[in-house]
Chains A and B, each alone.
Chain A
Amino acid sequence: MDGMDTAIAILVGTIRAGTPLVFAALGELIAEKSGVLNLGVEGMMLVGAVAGFIATVLTGNPYFGILAAIAAGILLSLVFGTLTQVLLTNQVATGLALTIFGIGMSAFIGLDFVGTPIEGLKPIPIPFLADIPIVGPLLFNHDALIYFSIVMFALVSWFLFHSRGGLILRAVGESHHAAHAIGYSVVKIRFLAVMFGGAMAGLAGAYLSLVYTPQWAENMTAGRGWIALALVVFATWRPGRVLIGAYLFGGITILSLHVQAVGYDVSSHLVATLPYLATVIVLAMISRDATKIRLNAPASLGKPFHPGA
């Protein structure tokens, strides 16, 4: 049964490693579907991670930490929203600035908390279901955030393709001029989408600092925000593919850890690049269909909207 236990451990590890990407990428997907390209995901994740960690240390309750992380993510996204939607700054430049700001800011606030031990989120076994062999530990013995990430996946998928709100969101992302002429408030809708992206990026950060590690270290997201951004594009803006890509990344992260643990003589730096490399290659291969990209890509992505024009 030892091999089986290892396999289960790898699969559970996969889900855990993929979850921050699920949050961050679903949030960015909504923002991009509204037509806003927010390159500040990495920064918002870091600020969420540090805010969640500090709140947990101060209150002793990781759930307060989660709320703090969401609030921090939203706060940063409001800065981005105000700059790009109201003051019409360039989205790419503003997003990059937001990430640089988030890296510095989180390192600064978190200085006194590096190495502080906390008790992270505990798994919540679902009664009876968690006792089923193999399936139980795999699917029904996780922490609250993992369950929540699946709920958010279902919600986002339903919202985008089966609700009126989602229809309006897609319309605004495709042609802001047409949406404006029909009478939708492009700026308001985009602002809300950006805020949702911020909240989800904050959650993603909290998952890293409260569950995955759980501790605070400077720049602990290690580029996951960028992977989340790439996931959205390679997944051709479809939530299902985002989920697959996120778990793929998680799986290879965990596998490469196991490869090192077994003791193969490969540079650990090289192994650490594998998940990034593999995710990009696989996603690039499944998203080669130009027609699908055109049909799913928000046509006004990244374009500024002047209501007066």
Chain B
Amino acid sequence: MSTSQLELKGITKQYPGVLANDAIDLAILPGEVHALLGENGAGKSTLVKIIYGVVRADAGEILWNGAPVHIANPSQARALGIGMVFQHFNLFDTLTVAENISLGIDEAHDLKVLTSEIEEISERYGLPINPHQHVHALSVGERQRVEIIRCLVQDPKVLIMDEPTSVLTPQEVEKLFETLQRLSSEGCSILYISHKLEEIQVLCDSATVLRGGKVTAHCTPREETPKSLAEMMIGSELPVCKRDGRALEGETQLSLHGLAIPSPDPHGTDLNGIDLTVRKGEVLGIAGVAGNGQKELLAAINGELISPRSDMIRIDGEGVATVSPARRRARGLAFVPEERLGRGAVPEMSLANNALLTSYQHEMVSPQGFIDFGHMRDYATRIRKNFDVRSDGIDAEAKSLSGGNLQKFIIGREIMLEPKILVLGHPTWGVDVGAATIIHQAIIDLASRGASVLVVSEDLDELFEICDSIAVISEGRLSPVRPTSETNVEEIGRWMSGQFADATQEVHHAAPA
């Protein structure tokens, strides 16, 4: 039996209130692709941060080629030969690709030599990138390449990838897998973190499954079924949400007509002539790679960004594109922003007060301007109960909740207002599978009660699960809208890289007939 490249023994890490890692054992062989599988909050991130020297373990041992090592900081990890691609990229927008990569190298080096090295690696591993470009001009997929090249220039023995596919198009995922398989065939071990079961079955040779900070299984993913893997991961069967096949014949409640707005952010994307209608009872999904105008689109619909012409956005046929968010809400629009803390909820305020923030128009404030605390607390309590929000009462600060619980609360707060139109940005981003199912079910139920729902998301699985129709946003333009049953992941993926000009023409030709 060969010696493990990297072995962990009894790694334990206690945070205030949470035992993030409880005596974790894990062994990675040279050249192996090893999956670290688990839900959000299972302790995956803490574990890899310990391996990479960002966080220190309270107890336990790390063996490198069989010999115990002490990793006090990331540069020691890199010196050993451990590279890491973080889920939230550690890149600097205003610096060039080469400068960003240079920052991740500890030894003295020349930027020109490094630039040619980057070009060489980029060619060898199929990771096209221009070293002189500034990072703010790059797509998310390109940014990930920068992170990967930053590791590869240091010739790693173990590469840690933290949820690398959550931001990629299906085509980009395929390319990434080719690169990873090539690396593994050259003897580099890969520790692959994910909660996507299909990916792990395709890519990984072995897996360690975590749940609640403990190892629940070591297994060979190809010999398992998605069902058995899910059971190891969440301790029960993977929940499925139900939807009925509804015919969509209701009237249009929300529509966009040639919506075009320049982005206020110099790193942002301008919206370019977006046409869209959402009917009563319809869930419309907008897919796309992050940074293609989603932020601007959501801001324009919500009213944070005022459009040049009133009729560019219509609610029940009436132009609302130049009125304030509060006026749009009064007309029945509800909105769940992408960022939970800071925009969806005020982190330092209690859940009860956060409930008041968007629902104050609903009898919680008297005409004289006095808050009806009883009503407000009752409303918060009902949200908490109906949406299974696990918190320390309704007086808990919003920031004390886990991502999934806070998101359930925010979505509950909007849905319980029974809005006519609900617009959501990335509703289950960073939310565990159980909470995501509750959220999806609530969205579908709202639509079946007659609301129009617009979901902007990067998660294709999510969109295909809950949407009646799907479109793609790319570089501020919208693709044609297709019923979910008449399209597939391949087509949407192709559109995500901007190739929908043909499809648009096809629709335009079809229109007069």
* Interface set of A (CB-CB < 8 Å, partner B): 164, 167-168, 170-171, 174-175, 177-184, 290-291, 294-296, 299
Asked if B95 and A182 make an inter-chain contact with CB atoms under 8 angstroms apart, the answer reads no
Q: Give the number of chain B interface residues (Cβ < 8 Å).
A: 23
Closest chain-A Cβ to B70's Cβ sits at a distance in Å of 15
Q: Add 5 more A-B contacts to A174-B93, A182-B104, A183-B75 (CB < 8 A).
A: A167-B103, A171-B103, A291-B266, A294-B266, A296-B94
Provide the main secondary structure of the chain B interface: loop
The CA-CA distance from A276 to B183 in the complex, in Å, is 61
Closest chain-B Cβ to A183's Cβ sits at a distance in Å of 3
Asked if A171 and B78 make an inter-chain contact with CB atoms under 8 angstroms apart, the answer reads no
Asked if B94 and A167 make an inter-chain contact with CB atoms under 8 angstroms apart, the answer reads no
* Interface set of B (CB-CB < 8 Å, partner A): 53-54, 73-75, 78, 86, 89-95, 99, 102-104, 106, 136, 265-267
Asked if B267 and A294 make an inter-chain contact with CB atoms under 8 angstroms apart, the answer reads yes
Taking CB atoms, residues of chain A closer than 8 Å to B94 are 170, 174, 295-296, 299
The CA-CA distance from A174 to B86 in the complex, in Å, is 18
The CA-CA distance from A294 to B134 in the complex, in Å, is 13
Taking CB atoms, residues of chain A closer than 8 Å to B103 are 167-168, 171, 179, 182, 184
Asked if B78 and A174 make an inter-chain contact with CB atoms under 8 angstroms apart, the answer reads no
Asked if A295 and B266 make an inter-chain contact with CB atoms under 8 angstroms apart, the answer reads yes
Asked if B90 and A181 make an inter-chain contact with CB atoms under 8 angstroms apart, the answer reads yes
Asked if A167 and B99 make an inter-chain contact with CB atoms under 8 angstroms apart, the answer reads yes
> Which of A174, A180, A291 sits near B92, CB closer than 8 Å?
A174
Asked if A178 and B102 make an inter-chain contact with CB atoms under 8 angstroms apart, the answer reads no
Asked if A290 and B266 make an inter-chain contact with CB atoms under 8 angstroms apart, the answer reads yes
Closest chain-A Cβ to B154's Cβ sits at a distance in Å of 12
Asked if A182 and B74 make an inter-chain contact with CB atoms under 8 angstroms apart, the answer reads yes
The CA-CA distance from A220 to B53 in the complex, in Å, is 50
Asked if B104 and A174 make an inter-chain contact with CB atoms under 8 angstroms apart, the answer reads no
Asked if B95 and A171 make an inter-chain contact with CB atoms under 8 angstroms apart, the answer reads yes
Query: Total A-B residue pairs with C-beta atoms closer than 8 Å?
Result: 53
The CA-CA distance from A180 to B104 in the complex, in Å, is 11
Taking CB atoms, residues of chain A closer than 8 Å to B91 are 178
Closest chain-A Cβ to B50's Cβ sits at a distance in Å of 13
25 contacts between A and B (CB under 8 A): A167-B95, A167-B103, A170-B92, A170-B95, A171-B92, A171-B103, A174-B92, A174-B95, A175-B93, A178-B89, A178-B91, A179-B103, A181-B74, A181-B90, A182-B90, A183-B74, A183-B75, A183-B78, A183-B106, A290-B266, A294-B267, A295-B136, A296-B94, A299-B93, A299-B94
The CA-CA distance from A205 to B513 in the complex, in Å, is 80
Closest to A167 in B: B99
> Which of B53, B86, B99, B102 sits near A183, CB closer than 8 Å?
B53
Closest chain-B Cβ to A191's Cβ sits at a distance in Å of 18
Taking CB atoms, residues of chain B closer than 8 Å to A299 are 93-94
The CA-CA distance from A182 to B104 in the complex, in Å, is 6
Taking CB atoms, residues of chain A closer than 8 Å to B53 are 183
Closest chain-A Cβ to B252's Cβ sits at a distance in Å of 37
Asked if A177 and B90 make an inter-chain contact with CB atoms under 8 angstroms apart, the answer reads yes
Closest to B108 in A: A164
The CA-CA distance from A299 to B135 in the complex, in Å, is 14
The CA-CA distance from A175 to B143 in the complex, in Å, is 15
Closest chain-A Cβ to B376's Cβ sits at a distance in Å of 31
Taking CB atoms, residues of chain A closer than 8 Å to B90 are 175, 177-179, 181-182
Closest chain-B Cβ to A129's Cβ sits at a distance in Å of 36
Closest chain-A Cβ to B164's Cβ sits at a distance in Å of 16
The CA-CA distance from A171 to B92 in the complex, in Å, is 6
Closest to B150 in A: A182
The CA-CA distance from A183 to B94 in the complex, in Å, is 19
The CA-CA distance from A177 to B54 in the complex, in Å, is 11
Taking CB atoms, residues of chain A closer than 8 Å to B104 are 182
Closest to A184 in B: B103
